[in-house]
Amino acid sequence: MAALFKKKTVDDVIKEQNKELRGTQRAITRDRTALEKQEKQLELEIKKMAKTGNKDACRVLAKQLVQLRKQKTRTYAVSSKVTSMSTQTKLMNSQMKMAGAMSSTAKTMQAVNKKMDPQKTLQTMQNFQKENMKMEMTEEMINDTLDDIFDGSDDEEESQDIVNQVLDEIGIEISGKMAKAPSAGKGLPSASTSKTTTISDEEIERQLKALGVD
């Protein structure tokens, strides 16, 4: 029941029209074939009447033949017209489809244009550019700070290496002497060895002079 009340689309109407035109074309072709058969029969009859000398019958049959041939010519004209109508219908269908596609495209473009506000889009792009510049500046500041930190650490380490190198150059014998010198733990006198491990003031002064301390 729903199919009976379904609204026909343009494609449905065009299909029905093309079907009717094809049916009309077939009917015209059948009529033309029948006329051609009658034409041949009349030609044979005219020949028979001519052989018998019946001129009146020949005139009547000749008039019928003329009318029949005119009708056959009309069938060709009508057939050509039907073919032209079918072609025009197909062209109109194609044009309507193109118009429909353009209409859908126009609606889509209108919807997109409504959603896209040029001012907001421009503002968004400007904000993006501004924030991007801020990020680049922040990144540059952080990189500079990190460079300063690591450069300072490198300078301090390099300075310490120079000090160690100088001390090594001037304190080769001192290092040997310091190796022999008692450590802080070992320098503490115990109850049993306080007499044997006691360092005199002269020895301390001599070691200080060796280290370059007056």
24-37 burial: b if 16+ Cβ within 10 Å, else e? bbeebeebbeebee
Q: Where are the domains of the chain?
A: 10-114, 160-178+200-214
Could you give the angle at which helices 118-170 and 172-180 cross, rounded to 10 degrees?
Answer: 80
- The answer to whether the beta carbons of residues 72 and 36 sit under 8 Å apart is yes
Which of 81, 80, 90 lies closest to 18, judged by CA?
A: 90
Query: 171 pLDDT band (50/70/90 cuts)?
Result: low
- The answer to whether the beta carbons of residues 79 and 29 sit under 8 Å apart is yes
- Range from 37-46, 108-117, 160-169 carrying the lowest mean pLDDT: 160-169
- The answer to whether the beta carbons of residues 43 and 65 sit under 8 Å apart is yes
More confident: 102 or 169? 102
Range with top average pLDDT, 42-51, 116-125, 198-207: 42-51
- The answer to whether the beta carbons of residues 33 and 71 sit under 8 Å apart is no
Other Cβ atoms less than 10 A from the Cβ of 42: the count is 19
Per-residue tokens: 47: 């020949």
pTM for this entry: 0.43
Average of per-residue pLDDT across 45-71? 90
Amino acid identity at 131: E
Average of per-residue pLDDT across 3-24? 77
